[in-house]
Structure formats: structure tokens, C-alpha cells
Copies of this chain bind each other. A is one copy, B any other.
Amino acid sequence: MKSKHFSRALVALGFVLCSFAGVVAAQPTDPLPSWNDGKVKQAIITFVNKTTKSGSPDFVPREQRIATFDNDGTLWAEKPVYFQLLYAIDKVRQQAPRHPEWKAKEPFASILKGDSRKALAGGKPALMQLLAATHTGMSGDEFRQSVKQWLATARHPETHKHYTEMVYQPMLELLNYLRSNGYKTFIVSGGGIDFLRAFAEKTYGIPPEQVVGSSLKAKFELRDGKPVIIKLPEVNLIDDKAGKPVGIYQHIGRRPVFAAGNSDGDFEMLLWTTSGPGPRFGLLLHHTDAGREWAYDKDSPVGRLDQALSAAPRHGWTVIDMKKDWKTIFPWGNRSSAPTQ
């Protein structure tokens, strides 16, 4: 027998043994262990199965399996305020000595007095303006280092955990579950794209090229003969509300098959996703758990959820009741169990 035929026979025998072993060992394992059994968990699993099983009438070809996730309030917490706003506030305080004019200029003046409500009132666009003011002229690398350093040292005012620990364990499992079934996971956030890229790969397994967010303009130049990318004080994209489908269109170029969010800022992304032909899934997190996390919706200045929640039934979106549907919140426990120092 030619060596080529002999080796092929060996491979065939090898595969037969591996398959047999697979059948013998197969025991169903729970892909979402931190999710309580129920309609929500079942809907997700059913969707993943029907879109990935060969021969299924709802089979989605691998290259089309795009899943987009909001970040604030969907993958990590957003209380008392968006964490990136807390970063920007820290930077304002740090840079204040170099900017005496901020004492009389909003929103800097309020921030320096300890009142972040003015900065918050302007929403995501105001946040981008604040970042523009505090980071213009900085290189992309310098900015990313600044964020990494802040994330490594700063602590949540209530739980005292690092912000990268304020992530939702059930959502980490969902990301892994989707990826192990050939889905490409993206972040589509109103927060800053560069801020997110500083930690999304390590924290969520989502690489920079799969992060979509609000952005400032930038330019390429030589500084001391060395090429750098410099951040400019001009907004490029506000990736929030109707800006999310635009961010998806520009960065991804494909309509998602699965999208998850938690606020009215995600309404258009969910609508855009589930309006597409074929199988689509819209997932909405409803913050209902005052004890283990925070309970908020239509009256919250942060992560307001009103229109999207009312619209969910007629669009067939699946709504997570965080209190009922999740066994745990954060990887380390929940808000009521956090140490007081």
C-alpha cells in the first residue's frame, strides 16, 4: 500500500475512534450555568441550536453569525454612573492645575465642585466632548495606557472592586456560548471605542477589531521622526441610539443576527437587527434586582429603559428579568455581599 494510502487509512481509523469516543462520552453540559432554567434561557439555547445545526431550516451560515452587545448595563454595570464618565472625571481633576479656566467653564466647573450631574445631563455626546477636552493631542497609545492604568488602580465607589470586575457572569457565559457555536461577538457601545479597546479583549474575549463605539477624529503624523496617531477634539461618531445601526454599518458591514442591550439607547440596534430576514434574536436586560445589583428603568438618568421595554413584545425581543433569570450577578458575588471596604 502506498504510504499516502496507508496514512489516509490511519487517519480514517483515528477519526472513527474519536467519533466513537465522542458518542460514548457525550453528556449534555449546561452552557449557561449561571442562568436559571426558564423561558429566557430556553429561548437563547433554542436559537443557538436552530441557527447552527446542519440541515435546520433556520441554519445561519457561519460567516453571518454576528452577535452585537451593548456594554454599559449589558456586559458590565453602569451605576452610580457610566464608568467611563468616572474615568473622565478623574482626568479632569488630574489636569485641573493646568487649566485654571475650567473653574468657570461647564461642565468642568461642576465636576471640580464634585457635582457630576451637569456632565451626565448631556448624555453620550457630552461624555465624548469631555474626553475630547481632556485627551486632545494625546496619541492613541498614550490614551490606551492611561485607561489601562486607571482600570488597574481605580475602584468602584460602592463595591470597591476594580471596574473590570463589575462584569456580569451570566453574560460572560453567553459570550463564550455564542463563540463556541461559531458566532463572532462584537461590542456596539455608546461609550468610547478607545476606552473599550483598552480592556475588552482581556475582560470579554472581544478583540479591538470587534469593538464599535463612539469615536473622536484622529490624524497620522510624525513626532520626533516617529509615526503616531494623534487624537483630535472633533467627534467622529456617536454610537448611541440611531447611531448604533450606523456604527454597525460602518464598522461591521453586516446586519447582526443576535443583539443584546439594556436601554433605550439600544432600541434602534435591536430594531435594525430583528427587522432582518431569517432568524434574528433581540435580547433586552431589565435591571430588576435592587438587592444584588441595581433596579432601574424609565426613571434612571443612566441607562434609561422605557420605549424599548414597551416595544419588546411586539418585536419578539426576549427580556431578561435579572432578579428572576440569573443565579448570580458578578463573578465574585453580588452588590449586597460586597465588603464595605
A residues with a Cβ closer than 8 A to B are: 3-4, 6-11, 13-18, 20-22, 24-25, 63, 66, 140, 184, 186, 193-194, 197, 201, 207-211, 215, 218-221, 226-227, 229, 236, 242-246, 249-254, 268, 271-272, 275
In the bound complex, what is the Cα–Cα distance between A66 and B201 (angstroms)?
15
Tell me the smallest distance from the CB of A124 to a CB of chain B, in Å.
16
**Contacting A6 at CB < 8 Å: which of B7, B13, B24, B245?**
B24
Contact between A11 and B17 (Cβ–Cβ < 8 Å)? yes
Please name all residues of chain B whose beta carbon is closer than 8 Å to the beta carbon of A208 when the two chains form the complex. Answer: 252-254
**Contacting A21 at CB < 8 Å: which of B11, B16, B193, B218?**
B11
Tell me the smallest distance from the CB of A253 to a CB of chain B, in Å.
3
**Contacting A211 at CB < 8 Å: which of B140, B253, B275?**
B253
Contact between A275 and B201 (Cβ–Cβ < 8 Å)? no
In the bound complex, what is the Cα–Cα distance between A16 and B15 (angstroms)?
11
Residue of B at shortest CB range from A184? B209
Please name all residues of chain B whose beta carbon is closer than 8 Å to the beta carbon of A140 when the two chains form the complex. Answer: 249
Contact A18 to B15, CB < 8 A, known contacts A218-B250, A229-B245, A254-B208: yes
Contact between A10 and B3 (Cβ–Cβ < 8 Å)? no
Give 25 A-B contacts (CB < 8 Å), ordered by A residue: A7-B22, A7-B24, A10-B17, A14-B15, A14-B17, A14-B18, A18-B18, A66-B209, A184-B209, A193-B250, A197-B253, A208-B253, A209-B253, A215-B250, A218-B246, A219-B242, A219-B246, A220-B242, A220-B244, A220-B245, A220-B246, A229-B246, A229-B249, A229-B272, A236-B250
In the bound complex, what is the Cα–Cα distance between A14 and B23 (angstroms)?
14
Contact between A227 and B25 (Cβ–Cβ < 8 Å)? no
In the bound complex, what is the Cα–Cα distance between A20 and B10 (angstroms)?
8
In the bound complex, what is the Cα–Cα distance between A6 and B26 (angstroms)?
12
